[in-house]
């Protein structure tokens, strides 16, 4: 039920769109804001793109991340349709972490502790998906997330030379020019 080809095709399209957009990128500021970004560092390390200015990196990474989330949620709903069917549980991604929360917003682990005293009869009477089942599902969903994350990173890595060539052509000269302008400004030359 995982459709890797579709995912890879969509990843390729995202990279192609980013490459097409790159020539229009202008450095707004050279300050590195990737330190406070919750998305980029996870990818930049894996892809060896930590030297890239945050603006273009962020554009690339967020488009990849939104594809990943979309595929993850679709696969999750296909694999565990009963989880979200009655609105009892919500499966979502929080900065790369798979979370399953109940309709009142409590974490599955929290409810797991509460329900340990449940007898099988209690569970049967309550109906729906038990916290135990939801916790088991999460183990598989975490595995699924990492599979998708790895395939995204591998797919991007296979296009790394293309990305680096574009960075050399469109980003480096602008960054260099801006740095020179800054020096001129500061030194009053």
Tell me which residues touch Zn ion (CB under 5 A). Answer: 37, 40, 58
Question: Minimum distance between the CB of residue 135 and Zn ion, rounded to whole angstroms?
Answer: 31
Of 91, 56, 78, 70, nearest in space to 11 by CA? 70
Is 92 in a helix, a strand, or coil?
Answer: strand
CA distance 31 to 57: 13
Q: 16 in helix, strand or coil? A: helix
Q: CB of residue 55 vs Zn ion: minimum separation in angstroms?
A: 9
Which H or E run contains 184?
helix 172-187
Per-residue burial over 21-34, b if 16 or more Cβ lie within 10 Å, else e, is ebeeeeeeeeeeeb
Query: From the CB of 157, what's the least distance to Zn ion, in Å?
Result: 19
Report the residue number, 59 or 112, with the smaller CB distance to Zn ion. Answer: 59
Closest contact distance (angstroms) between CB of 18 and Zn ion is 13
Nearest to Zn ion of 14, 76 (CB atom): 14
CB-nearer residue toward Zn ion: 58 or 138: 58
User: 111 or 171, CB closer to Zn ion?
Assistant: 171
């Amino acid at each position: 039920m995982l459709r890797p080809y579709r995912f890879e095709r969509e990843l390729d399209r995202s990279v192609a769109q980013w490459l097409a957009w790159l020539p229009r990128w202008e450095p707004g500021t050279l300050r590195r804001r990737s330190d406070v970004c919750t998305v980029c560092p996870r990818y930049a390390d894996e892809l060896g793109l930590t030297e890239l200015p945050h603006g273009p990196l962020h554009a690339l990474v967020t488009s990849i991340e939104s594809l990943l989330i979309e595929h993850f949620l679709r696969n999750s709903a296909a694999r565990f349709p009963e989880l979200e069917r009655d609105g009892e549980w919500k499966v979502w991604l929080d900065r790369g972490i798979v979370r399953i929360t109940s309709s009142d917003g409590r974490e599955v682990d929290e409810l797991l502790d509460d329900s340990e005293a449940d007898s099988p009869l209690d569970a049967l009477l309550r109906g729906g998906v038990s916290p135990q089942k939801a916790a088991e599902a999460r183990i598989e969903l975490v595995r699924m997330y990492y599979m998708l994350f790895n395939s995204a990173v591998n797919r991007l890595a296979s296009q790394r030379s293309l990305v680096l060539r574009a960075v050399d052509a469109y980003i480096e000269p602008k960054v260099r020019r801006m740095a020179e302008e800054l020096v001129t400004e500061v030194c009053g030359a």
